[in-house]
């Protein structure tokens, strides 16, 4: 009878972040400001790249798409999180919950592949500068971008297929958005296949991406050292250091979330980890990848002065 009733569960309650009522309003204001900065920063970066013909090259094509994906991730998660901070026991329907998870899973996977592609682009630019225009053509860039988005959607579809086949018994989701691990914990039966898929598929995507990024930048660093130019070394290390910081934060929290055993996972720790790659990383990326880039800054200054 319980199993039959669980089949008809159509709504969940998002518990959210703040357990202490006095913290809810300050947290709401902080995350609202972060979200607004995220949207303005990333959309502004896309507009600068779109309107400046000098930035229509592979590096900035990837950067513009990364900004769009960061906006996508943040907009999938943050608005509902803000609601949970204002309304106690925020309700979310099963269909809305599954839609939010699919959007999040797609965008997070696309970002993994995008960071990998950007690392490969920097490897070719620094390690094979003479062959760069031949290798990294606009046609290849578009193909790589299409593959990253297809890979992201396919990864999300696989997880979504197994999620919709589950019956849910517990209506409370101890998280600020609908992620796969909290949903699996609410299943009536132990969803061992879904847990294995999370560890195998998500772990494989993250490990492959991180190892590829790490290998690319390792080759880049060795190539920089061989140049024996103090100015070039400082410039390159500054750029690579910023990129590796962003990559380490992103992949580090994802690997910690989805690769460790289910028995070691705590709801409060999961939420703190999730905040890094859904809220913090999207607001940091425009700073890490753009404000340190002279070409982007020059283009932005021209736009602000009204010069085309």
CA distances from 148 to 100, 169, 251 (A): 20, 35, 16
Indicate the length of the chain as a whole number.
Answer: 308
Extract the residue ranges of the chain whose pLDDT is less than 50: 1-7, 263-264, 308
According to DSSP, residue 301 is labeled H
pLDDT of residue 2: 41
Q: What pLDDT sits at residue 67?
A: 92
CA 12 vs. chain centroid, Å, equals: 25
Give residue-wise pLDDT tens across range 201-219: 888 888 888 889 888 888 8
DSSP string, 72-138: HHHHHHHHHHHHHHHSTTEEEEHHHHHHHHHHHHHHHHHHHHHHHHHHHHHHHHHHSGGGHHHHS-H
* Predicted pLDDT at 191: 65
Predicted local distance difference test score (pLDDT) of residue 5: 42
**Dihedral sign (CA 110, 115, 118, 123):** negative
| Contact criterion met (CB below 8 Å) for 198 and 159 | yes
**Domains of the chain with bracketed CATH:** 2-305 (1.20.1070.10)
Give Cα 107 to chain centroid, integer Å: 6
């Amino acid at each position: 009878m319980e199993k039959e009733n669980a089949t008809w569960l159509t709504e969940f309650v998002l518990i959210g972040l703040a357990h202490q009522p006095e913290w809810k309003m300050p947290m709401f204001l902080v995350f609202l400001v972060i979200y607004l900065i995220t949207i303005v920063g990333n959309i502004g970066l896309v507009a600068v790249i779109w309107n400046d013909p000098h930035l229509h090259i592979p590096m900035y094509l990837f950067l513009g798409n990364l900004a769009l994906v960061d906006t996508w991730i943040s907009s999938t998660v943050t608005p509902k999180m803000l609601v949970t901070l204002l309304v106690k026991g925020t309700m979310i329907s099963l269909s809305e919950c599954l839609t939010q998870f699919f959007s999040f899973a797609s965008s997070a996977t696309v970002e993994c592949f995008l960071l990998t592609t950007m690392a490969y682009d920097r490897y070719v630019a620094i390690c094979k500068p003479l062959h760069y225009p031949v290798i990294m053509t606009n046609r290849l860039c578009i193909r790589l971008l299409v593959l990253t988005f297809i890979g992201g959607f396919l990864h999300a579809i696989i997880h979504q297929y197994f999620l919709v086949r589950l019956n849910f018994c517990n209506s409370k989701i101890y998280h600020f958005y609908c992620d796969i691990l909290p949903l699996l914990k609410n299943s009536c039966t132990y969803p061992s296949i879904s847990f294995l898929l999370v560890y195998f598929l998500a772990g494989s995507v993250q490990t492959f991406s991180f190892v590829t990024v790490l290998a690319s930048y390792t080759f880049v660093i060795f190539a920089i050292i061989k140049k024996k130019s103090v100015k070039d070394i400082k410039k390159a290390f500054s750029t690579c250091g910023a990129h590796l910081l962003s990559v380490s934060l992103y992949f580090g929290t994802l690997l910690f979330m989805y690769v460790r055993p289910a028995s070691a996972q705590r709801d409060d720790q999961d939420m703190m980890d999730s905040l890094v790659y859904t809220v913090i990383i999207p607001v940091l990326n425009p700073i890490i990848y753009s404000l340190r880039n002279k070409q982007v800054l020059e283009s932005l200054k021209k736009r602000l002065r009204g010069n085309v």
